[in-house]
Amino acid sequence: VIYNDANDYNVIVGEGDPWAREVVGVIDFGDMLHSYTVGDLAVAAAYAMLDKPDPITAAAHLVAGYHQTFALTEQELELLYPLIRARLCISVTNSAYQQQVEPDNEYLVISERPAWILLERLEDVSEEFAHCAFRHACGLAPESRSSAVVEWLEENANSLGRVVEPDLKVDDVVVLDLSFSSRELGDLTELSDVEAMTQRLFGRMKAAGASVGVGRYNEARPIYTSELFKAEGNDGAEWRTVHLGLDLFMKAGSPVFAPLDARIYCFCNNAGSLDYGPTIILEHKVANGTLTFFTLYGHLSNDSLEGLYDGKPVRQGERIARIGDYPINGGWPPHLHLQIIVDMLDREGEFPGVALPGQRDIWLSLSPDPNLIARIPADRFPSDEMSAEAILDVRDRRLSPTLSISYNEPLKIVRGGMQYLYDEDGRAYLDAVNNVAHVGHCHPRVVRAGQEQMAVLNTNTRYLHESLARYAERLCSTLPEPLRVCFLVCSGSEANELALRLARSHTRSEETIVVEAGYHGNTTSLIEISSYKFDGPGGAGPPPNVHKVPMPDLYRGQYKRSDPLAAGKYASHIAGEVEQIQQSGGQVGAFICESLLGCGGQIVLPTGYLSEAYRHVRNAGGVCIADEVQVGFGRVGSHFWGFETQGVVPDIVTLGKPIGNGHPLGAVVTTPEIAASFANGMEYFNTFGGNPVSCAIGLAVLDVIEAERLQENALKVGARLMDSLRGLMEEHPLIGDVRGLGLFVGVELVLDRETLEPAADQADYVVNRMKQRGILLSTDGPFHNVIKIKPPLVFTEANAEFLVSTLDKVLTEDFLKA
């Protein structure tokens, strides 16, 4: 007896961890009947596939889960897809009937429209592909006949003919790296230029003395950039990246031979941009006709198709084609794409040569390794890259457990390009959180500046070098008077560490006033002034010389946005600390404050806060340090520096993160007066700080910010982003507050807008789901319930819209509604 009605409305799910929820019950037993048990799964799958851009993957998840608890047989798997479609047919037929009987009962037709859409969508999915996908979900070889083809090719290796003239077993071939992590491919922006790519690849072959360049099978590649390779997945857009053939890069016009007897199965000019161009598919019947498979030859010359007809016999060794040139070969550097196909999946004239990473195993099974025919010795291929698991394993054993990793399922990122990061499968992630890659990941101008200088000279500040002088002038010119003396260091921590020394030698006092939840760096003395750390896990509170004032948080703090005097009230806590220091006979040293609070939860300081605070501190003889490590260099949009939005000029400014766009660079800029107090005879030497390479990179970053008007962009896109985020608040009560300046934005999630109870689990869920949908974010704030948005400044309005619409989708998911 089967239940026969496992749909979303009938399944009851338990509470708790959204990533490990289980079905705890079902309701509505009116459809129970005596039948084949696989019918239950077919019904459930038909529902699970509704409204899914990629229904087969949705069903495969269900099949995998079902199989774990109640194993499926191979026969059942073979029938599953037809049963699902039959169920959908019954469903639409039933709806039509019910509509006549009970025209007012909406529930009875609730799935009619999506069922029709799904039925039509499944017209494009071959039965054999679905079968392979379901077998794969159960841990079976996806294409059951694949191993027979592989075995036959292995056993008959010595009787196969050549595919191209050079003998790939002995002649010089070079295996090219066309993967996402390739250092041979150059910058992603160059990939659309076929001439540049041809020069690069053929140059590499020439340098290696090879007549053939080999492009690997099962390699995820960044070169498939046209719409042809884009697909709509269940978690947003996906790109086909995984190469299913073997490429043989050779001069255009080189002959191609049939490696064994065949007949022409089909031929076609697949003329789209980055498509196959002229293509031939041969059919091979071997083992006395008991085994059939196909070989595909793509990117051929136009005349290769002349005189062909379907079914035309071809002898082993016969020249069947010539390698084509661009543009007729689809617009690629000249090469032959060779692919084996076990089942044509009802296709004509072409067969996918590149697969979605999520379907990798299924397609590799349908198209086994063409090197079974080409027979390039294994030792020509470089060893595989380390898997994410292998890296995790080494990290576990060799690195400190205090290093954290983002996301439930860690990412292995292998390439960056402007506001995008790419994992090893080529999945593109929109980076909405990395403010270090300020002008864009691997910005070509910054990269070039570093590479060129590194090839010429890298020393230290004990020699005279023009780039140090130019950078010091340039950096100081971005700051107001009297901030005219700079020190170059290698990190934000080094900058703050030095700032403390400067302040202490100027005031001869170590009494330091800090802001709650502030973070200033990882050294011993910086942990002592970082409430984020000394008040956090493993922290031991502040030492006696460190005085903490409340975070001036207008949303959650003591004084709210509605209070016009809030800034002064928050600043009066500083006056209070000053008084206490003085009463206990001390002298105020420094007040350090981030210009916008990052770890504190993307807090914008109340208008007038810093000017009041600075007044209290300076009246008592203290110096004011602005930590601009997170927010400097135009991020806030309206100004180049965060402190400028507060109308103040600090005594010391510390810079880091964005200053080198990822290169370890930092700086401290102060007044000549404070710099003079520090010059007490002791040398300040920093081995790496101010080296020519760092200076060249720092200069390039400033150039790019200016040339690409990135501050302006931060203002424009940031305003748009915050507007759209605020637009979500009506629909989603979970969003308690949206705040920020420019492209430094926080979205605070709360369970209740009155009590402001933090929604930390929900924030964590959102960040992990956004990542699954291709957008990188993180959480912070004392309650870990603030979503941080601080992308590279090349972030566009379209990126902002994508972020907001995706957030909208994620916020409607069941876990967040419960």
Q: Which is closer to ligand PMP, CB of 371 or CB of 493? A: 493
Closest approach, Cβ 599 to ligand PMP, in A, equals 6
The amino acid at 288:
N
Q: Which is closer to ligand PMP, CB of 191 or CB of 517? A: 517
Q: For the window 324-363, what string marks contact with ligand PMP as x by the rule CB under 6 A?
A: ----------------------------------------
* CB proximity list for 201: less than 8 A, separation 6 or greater: 176, 184, 213, 249, 333
- Rounded Cα distance between 27 and 404, Å, is 43
Q: Which stretch binds ligand PMP (CB under 6 A): 515-523, 552-560, 609-617, 807-815?
A: 515-523
Taking CA atoms, 734 is separated from 315, 328, 759, 810, 818, in Å, by 69, 54, 8, 12, 11
Q: Would you call 340 exposed, middle or buried from its count of C-beta atoms within 10 A (0-12, 13-18, 19+)?
A: buried
Q: Which is closer to ligand PMP, CB of 46 or CB of 631? A: 631
The yes or no reply on residue 528 touching ligand PMP (CB under 6 A) is no
Q: Would you call 270 exposed, middle or buried from its count of C-beta atoms within 10 A (0-12, 13-18, 19+)?
A: middle
Q: Which stretch binds ligand PMP (CB under 6 A): 36-44, 358-366, 399-407, 517-525?
A: 517-525
Q: Which is closer to ligand PMP, CB of 321 or CB of 495? A: 495
Q: Which is closer to ligand PMP, CB of 216 or CB of 657? A: 657
Assign 383 to helix, strand or coil: coil
Residues 631-690 interacting with ligand PMP (rule: CB under 6 A): 656-657
Q: Which is closer to ligand PMP, CB of 192 or CB of 522? A: 522
Closest approach, Cβ 423 to ligand PMP, in A, equals 24
Q: Which is closer to ligand PMP, CB of 320 or CB of 500? A: 500
Closest approach, Cβ 493 to ligand PMP, in A, equals 3
Q: In 3D, which of 360, 218, 349 has the Cα closest to residue 271?
A: 349
The yes or no reply on residue 269 touching ligand PMP (CB under 6 A) is no
Q: Which is closer to ligand PMP, CB of 142 or CB of 492? A: 492
Q: Which is closer to ligand PMP, CB of 530 or CB of 762? A: 530
Tokens of 470: 């130019």
Angle at 508 between CA 507 and CA 509, to 5 degrees: 85
The yes or no reply on residue 520 touching ligand PMP (CB under 6 A) is yes
Residues 450-509 interacting with ligand PMP (rule: CB under 6 A): 491-493, 496
Tokens of 247: 């490429």
| List 5, 283, 627, 651, residue binding ligand PMP (CB under 6 A) | 627
Expressed in angstroms, the distance from the first to the final Cα of the chain is 33
- Rounded Cα distance between 86 and 677, Å, is 85
Q: Which is closer to ligand PMP, CB of 521 or CB of 718? A: 521
Q: Would you call 640 exposed, middle or buried from its count of C-beta atoms within 10 A (0-12, 13-18, 19+)?
A: middle
Taking CA atoms, 722 is separated from 414, 563, 717, 738, 779, in Å, by 31, 22, 9, 7, 17
Q: Which stretch binds ligand PMP (CB under 6 A): 404-412, 475-483, 518-526, 578-586?
A: 518-526
Residues 705-744 interacting with ligand PMP (rule: CB under 6 A): none
- Rounded Cα distance between 33 and 793, Å, is 60
Q: How many residues make contact with ligand PMP (CB under 6 A)?
A: 15
Closest approach, Cβ 666 to ligand PMP, in A, equals 6
Angle at 252 between CA 248 and CA 255, to 5 degrees: 70
Q: For the window 597-626, what string marks contact with ligand PMP as x by the rule CB under 6 A?
A: -x----------------------------
Residue 49 has a CB neighbour count (10 Å cut-off) of 23
Q: Which residue has the tokens 């300040």?
A: 684
Closest approach, Cβ 692 to ligand PMP, in A, equals 21
Closest approach, Cβ 338 to ligand PMP, in A, equals 49
Q: Which stretch binds ligand PMP (CB under 6 A): 115-123, 303-311, 514-522, 805-813?
A: 514-522
Q: Which is it for the CA torsion 783, 784, 790, 796, positive or negative?
A: negative
Closest approach, Cβ 595 to ligand PMP, in A, equals 9
| List 47, 519, 534, 765, residue binding ligand PMP (CB under 6 A) | 519
Closest approach, Cβ 489 to ligand PMP, in A, equals 9
Taking CA atoms, 136 is separated from 53, 130, 363, 749, in Å, by 20, 10, 11, 39
Contact 509, 539 (CB under 8 A): no
Residues 749-778 interacting with ligand PMP (rule: CB under 6 A): none
- Rounded Cα distance between 779 and 767, Å, is 7
Closest approach, Cβ 491 to ligand PMP, in A, equals 4
Q: Which is closer to ligand PMP, CB of 146 or CB of 646? A: 646
User: Nearest to ligand PMP by Cβ — which residue?
Assistant: 492
Closest approach, Cβ 519 to ligand PMP, in A, equals 5
Q: Which is closer to ligand PMP, CB of 334 or CB of 542? A: 542
Closest approach, Cβ 598 to ligand PMP, in A, equals 5
Residue spans of alpha helices (H) in 208-259: none
β-strand pairing of 246-249 with 242-243:
unpaired
Closest approach, Cβ 526 to ligand PMP, in A, equals 7
The yes or no reply on residue 522 touching ligand PMP (CB under 6 A) is yes
Closest approach, Cβ 435 to ligand PMP, in A, equals 9
| List 241, 365, 461, 630, residue binding ligand PMP (CB under 6 A) | 630
Residues 565-604 interacting with ligand PMP (rule: CB under 6 A): 594, 598
For helices 444-454 and 692-707, angle between their N-to-C axes, nearest 10 degrees: 160
- Rounded Cα distance between 335 and 214, Å, is 9
* CB proximity list for 206: less than 8 A, separation 6 or greater: none
Closest approach, Cβ 113 to ligand PMP, in A, equals 50
Write down how long the chain is.
Answer: 818
Q: Which is closer to ligand PMP, CB of 242 or CB of 599? A: 599
The yes or no reply on residue 435 touching ligand PMP (CB under 6 A) is no
* CB proximity list for 303: less than 8 A, separation 6 or greater: 322
Q: Which is closer to ligand PMP, CB of 343 or CB of 494? A: 494
* Residue-wise DSSP of 463-477: S--HHHHHHHHHHHH
Q: Which is closer to ligand PMP, CB of 453 or CB of 493? A: 493
Q: Which is closer to ligand PMP, CB of 416 or CB of 492? A: 492
Residue 812 has a CB neighbour count (10 Å cut-off) of 11
- Rounded Cα distance between 172 and 124, Å, is 43
Q: Which residues bind ligand PMP (CB under 6 A)?
A: 491-493, 496, 519-522, 594, 598, 627, 629-630, 656-657
